[in-house]
Amino acid sequence: MTYSLTARCAETGAFGTIVTSSSIATAARCAWAGPMGAVATQNLSDPALGPQGLALLRQGLGARAVVDLLIRSTRGVEHRQLAVVDRMGGVAWFSGGKAMPEHAVATGPDCVSMGNLLANTGVPQAMVVSFAASAGAPLAERLVRALEAGLEAGGEFDDEHGAGLLVADRYDWPVVDLRVDWHDEPVAELRRLWMRYEPQQAAYVARALDADRAPGF
């Protein structure tokens, strides 16, 4: 019911995850990012794997070690899909044998995409190709383009209803956290939200760091 892309920006060191699903409030369960890495958990998702994965990344573990530990800490692992990107751009993933068909995973430099209940198994690869082609753009923009590419490649077998975009930089709080919890066109709505937020993002970060000098709107 879900497809996502989890990634690192090699230029800035920021991390992010973008996801869409036919389920409601999907990003609340699936997308996690912090200053040391990012985690996506889906397909009968176990939300506990997100904060656990971020904690392990903070300890300095690489993506592969984090995935290996996490899949030993969740019940029903054969139903889970999990992706991790670490501070060095390393990626690792797990897709259980009982993940809903069609399921698929694709990886590229600094990114990993995975999906289940897909219209076709080429959707994750289309997202990875889009992410690579948009190098140089802000990470959030690259993630949105990747999600759009996944939808254009066929998306889900069912209609998408929820979507979310999460980006973390050097801080313990996300610099972008946008969610569409229920909408007939969640990917397009997420694009609209991002276009509205993008010109204000830097100002909100500045307000958090130095309120006396922060710009207004």
3-state secondary structure of 129: helix
Percent of the chain clearing pLDDT 90 (strictly above): 94
Domain boundaries, the chain: 2-209
Selection from 155, 156, 164 nearest residue 18 by Cα: 164
Q: What is the pLDDT of residues 112-171, one digit of tens each?
A: 999 999 999 999 999 999 999 999 999 999 999 999 999 999 999 989 999 999 999 999
- pLDDT, position 210: 87
Residues sharing a CB contact under 8 Å with residue 43, sequence separation 6 or more, in sequence order: 1, 2, 79, 80, 81, 95, 96, 99, 100, 103, 116
CB 167 within 8 A of CB 174: yes
State the distance between the two ends of the chain, measured CA to CA, in whole angstroms.
39
Question: What secondary structure does DSSP assign to 71-121, as a single string?
Answer: HTSSTTGGG-EEEEEETTS-EEEEE-TTSPSS-EEEEETTEEEEEESBSST
Q: What is the pLDDT of residues 32-49, one digit of tens each?
A: 999 999 999 999 999 999
More confident residue, 84 or 210: 84
Strand partners, 19: 4, 164
Categorize the per-residue pLDDT at 178 as very low, low, confident or very high, splitting at 50, 70 and 90: very high
| Averaged pLDDT for residues 201-209 | 92
Instruction: Tell me which amino acid residue 121 is.
Output: T
Choices 3.60.20.10, 3.40.109.10, 3.30.930.10, 3.50.50.60: CATH for 2-209: 3.60.20.10
Does the pTM surpass 0.85? The reply is yes
Measured between alpha carbons, how far is 165 from 116 in angstroms, rounded to an integer? 19
* E strand intervals along the chain: 2-8, 15-21, 31-34, 37-42, 81-86, 91-95, 104-108, 111-116, 162-168, 174-180
Residue 109 has pLDDT above 90, yes or no: yes
- pLDDT, position 82: 98
Structure tokens at 89: 């751009």
| Averaged pLDDT for residues 24-39 | 97
